[in-house]
Chain A
């Protein structure tokens, strides 16, 4: 087990530095979260990798890949993992609090004043417009991520089948996720194991 009190418990490449303290960690994550309108990931990359040098690009990609796979919001998982890497569980809490606390206060005050503001048709209209953009951002992100399936060892046909099946089950048939994810997930995992094994035999 690593000790949570040491500043750099994990071997850090010479070109990176560790955060100075828990409050440094907290403040950095607060600053990056407050810049993240419509997505924190790009800001996180710039602050943590380009500006603070806490990780290399490769380490960032690796951490994000894992964060993406686990349940929970990706950037929240990412902040947990990085906090944990530098300061153990106390670092995880500091990074998590930095990522969530200030934005939570802002969004709740917006929600609280929205009920009064909603009486103005322009405000309701603005929110409706932003809602349409939010729908578009989601669809666009999904479209972009489809491209990452190109290198998937299962091949395009199986991927389309699994993705299309989950879309139909959730969006069209409105089946609860706690049925869809285990069922489709286990099927996907088994298929992936078969495909990976076959590809390795072919090599």
Chain B
């Protein structure tokens, strides 16, 4: 565990996630690379594996995947950290979404709004690929887990693209394969 964190860092943690909120276009996961940069590379509060664990826990548990954010906060600073990161990541985007959906419902067909939809789509998708890359990093970096990890990633992609199987089954399968020590 890394614990260079002290409670006086809490406002900084909160403000960083508050600022990230408005950048989380395409879902909270698109800001995962930035959270990784801040928590792991810049501050050293978490390690690569802890970061990926938070995301895996949120994926394994029911509910929106954004719940990896309070888990990251929890890993850094316990319940206070969970509150700081979760309220931070949700508050601005929530208020903005409410305001924009009320406003946008009235002027949906204007050129500006249509250009926003068109122009941001490829950016969003590029960010989702980046998030996949960051999640795969622990497997790419550690030779012990490289073969099994990348194999499981490739299998998951193939099953998701070729079948209609629910993701819960893949997550369970990943858990079993991992528990057997194959990853």
A197 adjacent to B64 (CB under 8 Å)? no
A142 adjacent to chain B (CB < 8 Å)? yes
List the B residue with the shortest CB-CB distance to A67.
B97
B123 adjacent to A177 (CB under 8 Å)? no
**Interface SS, A side:** helix
A100 adjacent to B130 (CB under 8 Å)? no
| Complex CA distance for A73 and B89, rounded to whole angstroms | 9
B80 adjacent to chain A (CB < 8 Å)? no
Contact A138 to B132, CB < 8 A, known contacts A129-B178, A160-B122 = yes
B98 adjacent to A196 (CB under 8 Å)? no
From B21, B57, B70, residue with most partner A Cβ within 10 Å: B57
| Complex CA distance for A188 and B114, rounded to whole angstroms | 12
A144-177 vs B, Cβ < 8 Å mask (1 yes, 0 no):
1110110011100011111111110011001011
Q: B170 — which chain A residues lie within 8 A by C-beta?
A: 38, 133, 136-137
B114-133, CB < 8 A from A:
114-133
Among candidates A70, A104, A133, residue contacting B174 with C-beta atoms closer than 8 Å: A133
Q: B176 — which chain A residues lie within 8 A by C-beta?
A: 126, 129
Of the four ranges (under 10, 10 to 19, 20 to 34, 35 or more), the interface on chain A belongs to 35 or more
Contact A80 to B97, CB < 8 A, known contacts A104-B86, A108-B82, A193-B111 = yes
A7 adjacent to chain B (CB < 8 Å)? no
Among candidates B71, B115, B148, B153, residue contacting A135 with C-beta atoms closer than 8 Å: B153
| Complex CA distance for A96 and B167, rounded to whole angstroms | 23
B115 adjacent to A193 (CB under 8 Å)? yes
A195 adjacent to chain B (CB < 8 Å)? yes
Among candidates B126, B132, B134, residue contacting A163 with C-beta atoms closer than 8 Å: B126
A132 adjacent to B157 (CB under 8 Å)? no
B131 adjacent to A107 (CB under 8 Å)? no
A202 adjacent to chain B (CB < 8 Å)? no
B131-152, CB < 8 A from A:
131-136, 138-139, 145, 148-150, 152
B93 adjacent to chain A (CB < 8 Å)? yes
Contact A33 to B129, CB < 8 A, known contacts A71-B93, A177-B33, A185-B123 = no
Contact A37 to B171, CB < 8 A, known contacts A125-B181, A129-B178 = yes
**Known pairs A37-B60, A71-B97, A76-B90 / 9 extra A-B pairs, C-beta < 8 Å:** A69-B120, A76-B66, A76-B93, A108-B79, A110-B60, A131-B55, A131-B135, A166-B127, A188-B123
A-B contact pairs, 11 of them (CB 8 A): A38-B167, A39-B65, A40-B63, A72-B93, A73-B64, A128-B149, A132-B156, A154-B119, A176-B37, A185-B123, A193-B112
